[in-house]
């Protein structure tokens, strides 16, 4: 499976800015930043939010953000998974999921995580993964060609193909957050903590962040782990929680 990495909010901000310039619409930078931060890496959602704010307008200010509100995307995707795994009517699935505001690249991760937990029959599971792999191919083409019209094909295969792959009704109704996304978020948190420690070491030692990372971080970490007195002192000094 092709692994898609979640874009940074800064990248989404720049994309939204380009769209505004192309369309000739003046949008407050705070609006663009809020959309980029709120979408949690979901480009499709960010573009949809921008579009909803810009309809019949040539200028958008911060006050316009009040119309967006927050979505419970996890609840939406759980409902979508139930629709795919529990029904077989392709038209009904397409109609019910056409407004699902979750990027197809994220959908495929959710389905990949939960498919083996749902389709217990090995034949159903094989057919389900076959449909998922075909959808993944279309998503890969979308990314390479920047042709987002292919998303609709990927979604039809992903949703309808997997729904019709089953020959049994399964009792499972509990779905899990994608393991890879959870691990990736943990890595980012650890990276942010490391950068914060480096920044504090740099301020105290009057060294650059680069020098602190290369020459001091390992020494500091070992001391922190092995010397309780040092750890307590540094925790108070650096205000570690």
The answer to whether residue 139 sits within a structural domain is: yes
The answer on pLDDT for 222 being more than 90 is no
Residue 60: name the closest of 17, 90, 100, 101 by CA: 17
The answer on pLDDT for 156 being more than 50 is yes
149 against 176, higher pLDDT: 176
Assign 15 to helix, strand or coil.
helix
Q: How confident is the model at residue 2 (pLDDT cuts 50, 70, 90)?
A: very low
The answer to whether residue 39 sits within a structural domain is: yes
Q: Examine the domain organization and report whether 59 and 96 are in the same domain.
A: no
Q: How confident is the model at residue 97 (pLDDT cuts 50, 70, 90)?
A: confident
3 against 37, higher pLDDT: 37
Residue ranges in the chain assigned as alpha helix (H): 9-23, 29-38, 43-54, 73-86, 90-97, 104-118, 122-145, 151-156, 162-163, 179-205, 209-211, 217-226, 228-238
User: What is the rounded average pLDDT of the residues 87-116?
Assistant: 86
Q: What is the pLDDT of residue 164?
A: 95
- β-strands 26-27, 59-60: how paired? parallel
Given a contact cutoff of 8 angstroms between Cβ atoms, the answer to whether 34 and 60 are in contact is no
Range picked from 31-45, 141-155, 163-177, 187-201 for highest mean pLDDT = 163-177
Q: Which residues constitute the domain of residue 222?
A: 185-238
Instruction: Name the domain boundary from 132, 163, 194.
Output: 163
214 against 54, higher pLDDT: 54
Q: Examine the domain organization and report whether 158 and 88 are in the same domain.
A: yes
Q: What is the pLDDT of residue 17?
A: 92
The answer on pLDDT for 41 being more than 90 is no
Q: Structurally, how many domains does the chain consist of?
A: 3
The answer to whether residue 63 sits within a structural domain is: yes
DSSP state of 5: P
Any idea which of 51-55, 96-100, 184-188, 211-215 has the lowest mean pLDDT? 184-188
Any idea which of 43-52, 136-145, 154-163, 198-207 has the lowest mean pLDDT? 198-207
Mean pLDDT of the residues in the chain: 80
Q: What is the pLDDT of residue 189?
A: 46
The answer on pLDDT for 176 being more than 80 is yes
CATH number at residue 20: 1.10.8.60
- pTM of the full structure: 0.52
Q: Examine the domain organization and report whether 35 and 84 are in the same domain.
A: no
122-145 and 104-118 helices cross at what angle (nearest 10)?
A: 170
User: What is the rounded average pLDDT of the residues 24-37?
Assistant: 90
Q: Examine the domain organization and report whether 33 and 61 are in the same domain.
A: yes
């Amino acid at each position: 499976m092709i692994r898609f990495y979640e874009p940074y909010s800064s990248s989404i901000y720049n994309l939204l800015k380009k769209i505004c310039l192309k369309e000739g619409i003046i949008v407050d930078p705070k609006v663009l930043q809020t959309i980029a931060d709120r979408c949690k890496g979901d480009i499709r959602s960010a573009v949809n939010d921008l579009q909803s704010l810009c309809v019949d307008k040539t200028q958008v200010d911060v006050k316009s953000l009040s119309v967006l509100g927050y979505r419970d995307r996890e609840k939406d995707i759980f409902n979508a998974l139930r629709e795919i795994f529990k029904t077989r009517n392709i038209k009904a699935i397409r109609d019910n999921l056409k407004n699902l505001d979750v990027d197809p690249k994220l959908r495929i991760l959710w389905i990949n995580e939960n498919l083996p937990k749902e389709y217990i029959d090995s034949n159903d599971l094989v057919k389900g993964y076959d449909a998922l792999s075909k959808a993944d191919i279309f998503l890969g083409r979308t990314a390479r060609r920047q042709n987002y019209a292919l998303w609709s094909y990927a979604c039809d295969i992903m949703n309808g193909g997997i729904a019709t792959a089953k020959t049994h009704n399964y009792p499972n109704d509990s779905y899990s957050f994608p393991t890879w996304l959870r691990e990736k978020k943990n890595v980012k948190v650890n990276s942010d903590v490391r950068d914060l420690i480096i920044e504090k070491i740099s301020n105290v030692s009057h060294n650059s962040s680069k020098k602190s990372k290369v020459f001091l971080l390992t020494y500091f970490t070992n001391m922190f782990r092995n010397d309780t007195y040092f750890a307590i002192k540094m925790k108070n000094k650096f205000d570690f929680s």
